[in-house]
Amino acid sequence: MKKLTKENLNPEIFDLYDKYAHNKLERRQFIEKLSLYAVGGLTVSSLLSFVMPDYENSVTIRQDDSRLTSDYVLYNSPKGGGEIRGLLSKPKKIKKKLPGIVVVHENRGLNPYIEDVGRRAALEGFITIAPDALWPLGGYPGNDDDGRALQRKRDRNEMLEDFIAAFNYLSTHEDCNGKIGVVGFCFGGWISNMMATKLPDLSAAVPFYGGQPTAEETATIKAPLMLQYAALDERVNAGWPAYEEALKANDIDYQVYIYPDVKHGFHNNSTPRYDEDAASLAWKRTMDFFKERLR
């Protein structure tokens, strides 16, 4: 049997996974449809293992990294979930107050990939908080399937308030200079867009392949935006033309990058949708943008 790689995998499998990951297919339906591609010596279990996240082997910055202080904190979210837990990360040696970044997870809670992203940003000289919007329901349950099921039980506008509360938490933190940005992925991209509509004091927002606000909501944005999209992400990209029109109509400071030949989730290095070149470039642009806007 030929070794599975994303290059020799039928691209329709990625489309199936995208539908499953975004609650368009139940697990049983996903496996049934996946079985149609189990040919030529391939098994359903091998396909399933290949497309699902591999967190154990994809984390780049461990929580005990000697360069960082990275620990869980609790903060209040009066309009959202009450008490929320988040991973607070910062460089171990701090000579002056740092700019802050709220890191927003996808539609499955604070999994190891997003925690890793929070630590990556902290190593660039930021104090970061990566909240877990599932905390009121017990927190990220240790796997994405159950995480998605839990997140469906929460109202997304209440979760938005949880991330706004994280912004407020950082803004008064003794190690933060008060300039705060937000970066988020998928659901977190929508949260990032919406935080820009709700927070006039937000200093910058970087949504990765996130759903877009309405034209009326867009008109309230004060923060500069860097928008990151995957060219093959037809589902999310369908909302981009109207968003761009509203951004231009309201003279919003924005820049947009649409990465060719990559899929939704290209930044997530725990799944085969990951594209190293696009992810590295997008992350460098993100960090450069925050360093320019938050200092």
Task: Out of 4-8, 176-180, 243-247, pick the least confident.
Answer: 4-8
How many domains in the chain?
Answer: 2
* Statement to judge: residues 272 and 135 lie in one domain: yes
Residue pLDDT, tens place only, 110-127: 999 999 999 999 999 999
* 60 located within any domain: no
* Statement to judge: residues 34 and 129 lie in one domain: no
Give pLDDT, residue 49. Answer: 85
* Statement to judge: residues 77 and 106 lie in one domain: yes
Give pLDDT, residue 92. Answer: 96
Confidence of residue 23 (pLDDT cuts 50, 70, 90): confident
pLDDT higher than 90, residue 38: no
Residues 6+ apart with CB under 8 A from 257: 226, 227, 228, 229, 282, 285
Q: Which domain holds residue 186?
A: 68-293
pLDDT higher than 70, residue 3: no
* Statement to judge: residues 122 and 197 lie in one domain: yes
Give pLDDT, residue 195. Answer: 98
* Statement to judge: residues 17 and 74 lie in one domain: no
* 56 located within any domain: no
Confidence of residue 2 (pLDDT cuts 50, 70, 90): low
8 Å CB contact between 224 and 253: yes
Number of C-beta neighbours around residue 8 at 10 A: 8
* Statement to judge: residues 158 and 256 lie in one domain: yes
pLDDT higher than 60, residue 264: yes
* Statement to judge: residues 23 and 110 lie in one domain: no
Mean pLDDT, residues 197-206: 98
Query: Which pTM value belongs to this model?
Result: 0.94
Q: Residue 217 is part of a domain; what is its CATH number?
A: 3.40.50.1820
